[in-house]
Structure 1
Amino acid sequence: MDDFFTPVSTTYTKSKGPKSPNGQVGPSEADAPGPKNQRTGISSPEDALETLRAQPDYDTLISALKYLSNSEPTVNSFDIHVSSPLSAQITQALVTEIAPNYWPLLREGSLEVQDDLQTRDKTTDLALFLTCLRSLAGLNTILLRLRALTQEIKAGKGGPKRPDLTLNVNLVLELLCALLEGDDTVRSIWLRATPQNDDRLKNHQVSHELVSSLARGKVVSLAAEAEALAGEARSSTHWVSNGQRYSKWLSLSIASWIKNDPSDEELNLCGELLVRSLSLGYPEVINGQLFDALLLRKDGNLKAFIRLLGALSPAERGRVFYSLLQYLTSTFFGKPSTEEASTQSPVISAAAGLIRQVAYDDAFKKTYIVDWLAGPVGAGPGANIAIRRAVFACLAADEHHLADVLEKSMDQFALAQVILLGSGYLHRLSPRKLKSLSRSRTYLAMVSNRLNSPQTTARFLGMTVGEALSSLVDDEKTRLDLHMDEMQTNEAKWYKGLVNIADEAGPVDILISRSAAVTKHAESRKPAQLAPKPKSKPVAKPAAEKPKFIIEEVDTSESEDDIVPYAKPDSDAEDSDDDPALVRRDKPKAPVYIRTLISYFRDTDSYDKQLLALTTAPSLIRRKATFGTEVSDHADELASLLIGIHDKFDFENFYELRLQGILALIVAQPKTMAPWFAKTFFDGDYSISQRAAIIAALGLAARELAGYEQSEYSAAASFPSKRLSEKMEQQYLEPGAQGGEQHLPGSSLGALPPTALDSIAQSMTSSFLAPIAATAADNVTGPDALKLSTFKSKAAARKKPRVVRSAPNTTANLISTCFFFPLTARLQHALRNPSSQVLDPHLLSTFLKTIAVLVHAAGPSTTSLQDMTSESWGLVLALRSHSELPVLAGAVTVLAVLVEVNEGDYRGLCERQGKEIVETVEWLSAVLGGVRGGETEEDRVRGLAAGVMIRLNEVVERYQVLLMGSLV
């Protein structure tokens, strides 16, 4: 029978000697004189290995750990941290044999409060154990152990083979967290593994292995996989499985190493760790922690940061510097605002001082600062002007660099703010040089091209730059004055006033104080941990009295008729389970505040809170949109959570619920959130599916704002005080009742499938092709005189209620300003970067369909129709080189919508877009010859391209003379 009982694991507890009468702990059995004390003596590493393998007791284990930790160098010359066959065997024994048995005892001992100073310091015992393992061999052994346990779980069919696998996985994860804890861990591992710095080859091998283990994602991926397979989602405890927290730890470790004046070899290793760690997926976290630790603290070290930059390659050095500018913008300047920038002069001066210290020589300025200001996608498009002012303040005394920036900016006209700021600084240094530039062919061509542009914004900026520079270099008689109403607006005056701004670089103390305040505020917002409740002492129960039994006969024959039975209770949903242990009474309630909703989204380990957050977010955001400032105050944070949430629990309709939440946020705050999402679509570190959700939500939100659809969450979001009673609603608001409203077909935006945007695009193109198909059918079936009704008349009859809106379109200008132009402007910059993720064929197709939806939602009544038509047509022609079928479908959809929206002004369209119309007809002809057809998508693209070409050919025939004149 003894064979049937096999222990799962064995744990050895520490033996405490008996207490003496004075309260001191007496000697243990291991310390007593005799043969056993001789057995605990360790004189060589071989003895230590044999002791670890022989299932030692607690005191023997501590003796072995003290020997291996080299606490007595005169006695022990063996170093466990240096790679050798013997040290590898000892490390393997510590991880596989000692840790499973003694780790709980060591961990619990380190948390106990020491009441008696004469007792053993258990925290030191845990530190001894970790010191022996804190090496490159120890780290790799733990990772190998974790991989072996993970593979064993995978190999088991229907679950783990052994019941202790989950416990062992959690134990190894806790050991890994404790081993890597601390900012000085990485440095100590490397120093202990390379005690002899003269062996360059060995040091290089150790550096390569350290980078491969820590900075290439091995730790995070293994820990996350093991945690998921073990079924323990405890990211708050196992921080090594959280990529963001691990990246923060690694960045702080690099910063701590840099502060300790490393050698050139260590400096190169820190640079390689930094570069490789950026591939973990959290570059903003890594760079932000590095900047905060080295530059924005009182104990920072600017020289160490400059040394680190010198150890990087030129390309990586530029990326880190540009990340510094982005970090300063997001931390101290926030959102773009012309009003706020005027009151931030002290912060701008401090930022300029920091940038000037980092850009320590002219070569750095010319290579990175000039390229950032005058590059095609530089100067932080969409960012606050304050960062541009800070960068220009660094060049305030460099005439050569200022002239270089102006020449390149005028050649590209990248940003008008850069030209105006640079002109002011150069004029104060060398008026003659600025006057020479203003008379150059490049400047004249730049201004004239902008004045002749069909886009309103481009013309406005051209007039602003022309008048501002003329006010600097010309006298009052010859000064340029266009006498336009646009030049008298506050915006024009603000732009022209940029030439008078003169910031100076100052001390960085204000940045340090503000960074400390931001850090303190972020720490104060973390949820406080509840203190453990004290254990209540057992209360002695009084002795119960013996019951006295009384037996009495009762005659119930006459009283049974008077008993009234209780009514049957209603069914309780919570008591429907047969097993009372399965009934949950602690389910979270639905959130009623935005801050509660945010806390639910952050709690990624709670299934109930995540589900409640997803299902209640659309209605709660809509309900709170105009009720106080809850949504506006937390809009950015809520948007980041909605985009970054992952389907951890495999929810049903997860993507539809997430899309409804983003849609509700844009509809609630369109003026601020639509540009924010447009910027995030291009600049955010997100996947293709997340970007597709962002761009689809922008298109759907524009249609809802224009009144084409109304979400099912809109009615649920109204407050009860604004609704009639249920009986009155049935009487007045029931569909078909007298005096009630008739719901328009297609005006309810219900559940959103992943192809919602495609369905909307197909419905728009179907309405465009219906008259063309009817005309073709009439031509085939014979003369109209022989028919009772023509196909064309039937299509016209069906086409009359084509535009069906549940609300008047009063937001056309809002759609063009906040939705359309932020997207198209940033796509122009993205097209110059061939490696941009936005240029993925399917994502680009979704983007083009969103552009078509935006133009259609704005409609023919918008005042910006000409600019939107010119911008959209230019994008389609710029994407002619992308011959993928999804891109072609999106481009042809945009053309169909443009032709339909401009139906009432074809003459003006030919006057403004004559050249583009001719080029489009030729391109569509090539598309019809290149797309073979035979499949559903190819046939749809061919049919839509043919319809657009037919309509454009009709326009060309009608205004042929006008087009020929414009082409000539």
Structure 2
Amino acid sequence: MSLNHPRQAALQEIISKLQTQITDLQTLLPLLCFPLSRVALLPPQFRKFNSLSSKDVPVDVARVFPPIQRALLESILPTWETILDEEGCSALSLQYFCPDAFSNAATAGDVALCAYSTILSLPLHERSVDLLLRLTKEYPIDKLFRAVCTIRDPARRSVTWDDCLRNIFAAPTKIANTFKGQGIPDDLGMPEYFNNLSIRTELIIHTLSKLAVPEDLSLVTQLFSKLVHIGAFPSSVHPSPSQPSFFHSVVPSLRRRLQDRENESYRKLWNRTITSLPSVLTQQAVLASLFSSLTSLGSTLGASARDRGIIRREAVLLCDVVGNIGPDDDLWNTLISVILARSWGENHSRVFVCWLASSTHSSQAQEAFLPRLVDAWSALDHIKHSLLSRHQYLSTLLLLVVTHFPQSSNEVASVALSPSLVSAVGGYISHPDASVRRCGMLVAEVVASRVDKNLNFDDWEGDDDGKVWARRLRQLCSQRDIDFEPSHEDDGVQGDDAEPGPSPATEVTLMTAARRPIADTGMPARRVADYDSDDSLTGYASPSSSRSPSPTPSELQEIEKDPTLHVGRKKIPRPVYLAQLGELVRNSGVGSSEENQEADRIEMAINIGEELIRRKHDYGTELAENAANLVYGFVSLSNKFDLDDFDNKIQRIAIALVACCPKTSAQYVPCLFCRVPSLRSCRCMIEEFFKNQYSSTQRSVMLNALALGARELALLPIASQALQQLATQRTTFPSKMLPPVLHQKYLGTSSDNILRPLLEGITKAAIDKSKEVTADKVPEVVRERQLRIRRPPKITEVASASQKTSIPSSQRPPSAISFTNIAAEWFIMPFVNRFWVFLRDEQTREERTAQREALYQYRGAGTGLILNPLMLSAFLNTMAILVHASQNAPQWLALIAPNTLELAVTVGSRQIARPVSEDLDDDGDDSPKDSKSKEASVLTSALNVALIVLDGCLELDGGRSLGLEHTALLIGTGEWAGQVFNMLERGIQVTGVGGIHEVELQRATAGVLLKVDQITSKWRRSMVGHRDTKYNNPKIQFEFTSDNLKKAQEIISRYPPQYMKAAVIPLLDIGQRQNKGWTSISVMNYVAKLLEMPPMRVYEVATFYTMFNREPIGENFVQVCTTTPCMLRGSTEILNTVCSHLGGIKPGATTGDGKFTVIEVECQGACSNAPMMVVNDDFYEDLTPATTKKMLDAFAKGEKPKPGPQSGRHTSENSAGLTALTTKPYGPGEFCTPEFR
């Protein structure tokens, strides 16, 4: 009913009076009491003031109360609040906003709804904030919900609820803006307010569940949608304290209510609420937040009874809140997308599987979930780019689902034989990260065991690369979490804190138990101890035989070792000389009758090789004569006889060869008696590395030997304990050693990733290192001279007679070889040069076959080849270690640093070989293929090389030689690293970046950028950013004219010969004037030649002084002064006039006809005639826009205006005339007394 209705005239009159000025309290109180009395909200103590009477006047709260509330806030309370307090009538005004507790009238909620809207529609002040705070406490969302539910019209109910939610959710923002973030009441702060709102929302659901016929859930789902939009459902397991979280606030009350198993209506209402949410995105947000609020175990793979009880309890919570979800439910796809598309932890994977297994549709749910889980685990993008945490999450989820099926079930069998799983296991095994590889290997073994197949990778001992995680997961899968009772203990103590984990003494027992195939029947699986065969077979069950049992493998080994059974077997003699050692591995002079002893010969050679080589070090020339033969023999060996610790022993022998005889092992040397390389020393380790006959393992042995042998020569530590130099002879006191199997077991030898820990330590030190103070030890200039290559002396020093007769050179003891003296000649530069030759040959070979069909094209980056990313990254890692070890070499700054940096930048930024997948790309990846994309491992290794080179340059000479002599290389390095950094910042995926490579790549990129910035910031003024162009390159000839040459010689003659370089500035000025006003690279080179000084010194001068123009200029060089005095006199207007009059060019540009070049300059020393500008060599002063245009037009016509002030005055005289010295000056003695005249 409208207020204009006759029956509403009294109310309209009261509202009009309240909106006008009221003069006394006796008039105000009746006006306030009457509307409250009509809605049964007038307190009894104020009924005496209700003097107005009207016959049955109906009151529409939504129409009447908002104008009265607005009038109270805007005019009445600011004027009458103090008087109302004194008279005890303040509660009367409060009833219009927050009716007190005694009022149970149905209209109280409607009044509160109107109060929210009125208060928030007006500017907030202290009074309205107090009212709003009281409203939030006495009329929270659940009371407002009850008030809205009383509205019978569905359309009006929906609109009212929408307005209510908008006001409720806008309150904290309005408060925060009013208080500007300072002094906000605690109950109105963002997290506290919305957490309380979440608790009240749960109370609404609990209240609705008690109704016999629950109300329509549209209002509740509307409330949930609002909560999702403001971020009250975070998906983070550990949300920020400043972020509200619905489930973190209501889970305690949820658990308390759900423990009552008879409260079935409460569970069903939660299921209906989540299912009825309006959009899939809203459902995903609510489910993700619910999952993130689950209890996390201290040890996510804890297998104690208490841990399993907690997992079971969380699964029951999900079952109660979300319900028993099956493949036919509408929520199924949303639920699966949340589980698989997000990165949860192993704790959540256990809860998810236990939840699916405990539902009423468990078998159908698991059968539908398993194929989608296998697809996610087998995706190529996941295998290549996912982090280790996601790999372990999906692997745990897959193994738990698989182990919930019965042994040999059809579902698991179909998964085990599926092409996607088989190809995915191959992708995992070829992954560069060992921890990721472990996930694929573990899944393959467990899935095979579930279908009664035998698959054993036998690489699970130790604590590195995810092995501990794999063992704990095996132990977890031995039992199911669903078989345990839910735990209702306090959540404060989580995980394995209740029961301690396994001790080191029981690790082997746990490993053995965890490796057993998982069976649901409870029958133990038999396992032969210490038996590992790639061709093991399990026989059929048969009745016992009367024959004696067959010997076990251990008994066969004892029989084989029995010396009485080897009477006719020839014993391999222990080699004494290196030539004999070489014969053992090179098969020289071996007859057919001795071929069956090849395994014994190789075993003897690898067992005694390192000791014999190190013993012969510095013992005559025997090692030098046999080193090449030993290199060929040992690096080409393969473990075809399955010898114990073969890889580690070969690696130690190769290191010993490099460390004890580097000049032969590292590079071939020509024979002294012929011009061709000698057969005994020409093919050595570097040459052999670039031959295609070796496997990746053999090439890794060579690279590791070069790197670790170099560090041993440089007296630097080796990271791997298994490859440390022998302290004593191996054969001495054999009784002091454990048996070989136990010795290797407790020693923990491993040939994988030998260089990675070493390189990580080097790069980390390069990033974190601060510059040491060494100025008091050796001056920087002296150190720079010592570390640079010295020119050979022109006069050879002759030894004295006493020196000649002391000791013959042939009898002097050989001096110890220092790696810094041989690094450039025998290690790094041959390695770099041989790589360039090899790269040239490989690219030529690829180009020759490029026109053939894809199947017959040669690929230099194929599997096992040197340009393959795996081997190329190992090559770069070796180069990085060699460069770091040779940092004190005399040739480091001049040769090693620039050449290796150029190699790293080239390999890291250019496509050096055609990838195998360029034409045959059948991996299903729809992402765009970048022809210059790099494997993450190659990119990281190249950046590590650059980082070590830059760090060494900074330490040795502060980056001076690299910045000044190799400026283009330094700038190119910075640009390359910047591109990689920007690519990573934009989130572009690099091939193979998953796992550990992501962190290493980001760290290396940031480190290179920091080092380049340190060098460029220090030497920026001296670095020339020159790039050859058609008009500016050294090939353009330049010489002084005869007149200018005479001027130059006259200037040079002013200085002593040793200080001739002092004439560089005037000679550059002459050259610039002759070269049409700019200084080209040819001018600078000519001046450097004329003054007999390095060109770099001339470049430094030319780039430091702004008077020398580095680019061509126009016929008229216009320089507008814009310093403060000229700017105050209008130089900005003059500059704008010049630019606009010359066709709209910008400062620093040249007009299209080449007649004018305009630049801004600093003070020209003519401030008294400001504004001014310089054209060529003439000053033009006292400028105005009109005179400026006139001058420019004259220059354009080829004329030359008169220099000087353009205002008509002479030089800097006052334009208004003389103000002093206007009379004739008096002469000497004119005003003196007569006697002094």
Would you say same fold, with TM above 0.5? no
Greater RCO between the two (CA within 8 Å, min separation 6)? Answer: 1
Which TM-score band (shorter chain)?
0.3 to 0.5
**Bigger Rg, structure 1 or 2:** 2
Q: Using structure 2 for the length normalisation, give the TM-score.
A: 0.35
TM-score by length of 1: 0.43
